[in-house]
Amino acid sequence: MARVHFVCAHFGGQVPWKPHIFSEKHDVTLNYYHDLNSPSRHLSMHPRFKSKIPKMLEWKNVESDWYVWMDSSIKPHRGIDLADQILLKVQDNPLCLFRHSKVNTIREEAYRTISMLRKNHDYFNMRYLGEPLLDQIIHYYGDPDFIDNKLFSTNFFAYHRSITGLMEQWFNEVVHWTIQCQVSLPYVLHKSGIEYSLFDGFTHVTNDLFSWDWRNREKNLIKGWEGA
């Protein structure tokens, strides 16, 4: 039996739903952070940035063996032991991730984002306008030890308590560079040398663990705070 702690956050609007989590084999807990149980800090912190704190630093608040982050767009399938399914996938590695569904490198992701910003695309403008993404990529590519050969979706992942240092470094990169955390994760992961496993499929399409309901999630966000 393992202790598996699930964490989710939805700031900037009414919670769309609460995920149903249970396990017959493991000790599971869930923290769902939202505007009613967490300080708003609306004058100093955008809701999208605020969600990075539980996403990457929940281990500072809760003692557990494993931590599972789920964006508020994630709906776990009912009737499955999600914790057990996750632990079967991690194998002997301390981290398990989904591959990115669109591109395979941070350079490709940056190019895609910058291209959409130049086209004045609403979705990308609301999330990344003004972020120094190009500077971030130039900085990473200036590191001779960095190899840009992986990209992950970061709306669902599991990690073991033994790699909290990686999670804190990831958070620091988001603070220092951009809120687009899928760009900084491959860099800090490569630098750490930590081995990882992959879940089957992708987060944005059908998989064995959950469905992704982004549109209904967005309906519960205040205009201008989309994506929190």
Long-range (24+ apart) CB contacts under 8 A made by 130-134 are 131/177, 131/178, 131/179, 131/180, 132/177, 132/178, 133/178, 133/180, 133/183, 134/110
pLDDT score for 194: 98
C-beta separation of 213 from 75 below 8 A = yes
pLDDT score for 205: 83
**Domain boundaries in the chain?**
3-103+151-177+195-218
Confidence of residue 211 (pLDDT cuts 50, 70, 90): very high
Nearest to 127 by CA among 38, 6, 214, 31: 214
Q: Distance between CA 23 and CA 44 in Å, rounded?
A: 38
Q: Please say if the pLDDT value at position 167 is more than 50.
A: yes
Q: What does the pLDDT average to over 147-175? A: 98
DSSP 220: T
Higher pLDDT, 142 or 226: 142
Q: Which phi and psi angles does 201 have, rounded to 5°?
A: 80, -155
pLDDT, tens digit, 9 for 90 and up, residues 79-106: 999 999 999 999 999 999 999 999 999 9
**Looking at domain 3-103+151-177+195-218, does it have CATH number 3.10.20?**
no
Confidence of residue 227 (pLDDT cuts 50, 70, 90): very low
Mean pLDDT of the chain: 93
Q: Please say if the pLDDT value at position 119 is more than 70.
A: yes
pLDDT score for 126: 85
Q: Please say if the pLDDT value at position 223 is more than 90.
A: no
Confidence of residue 222 (pLDDT cuts 50, 70, 90): low
**DSSP labels, 87-154:** HHHHTT-SEEEEEPSS-SSHHHHHHHHHHHHHTT-HHHHHHHTT--HHHHHHHHHT-TT------EEE
Q: What does the pLDDT average to over 110-126? A: 93
Residues 6+ apart with CB under 8 A from 192: 163, 165, 166, 169
pLDDT score for 144: 97
Please tell me the least confidently modeled range out of 130-134, 184-188, 210-214: 210-214
> Hey, what amino acid is at 107?
R
Higher pLDDT, 60 or 18: 60
Tokens of 111: 């190019």
Q: What does the pLDDT average to over 2-13? A: 95
> Hey, what amino acid is at 151?
L
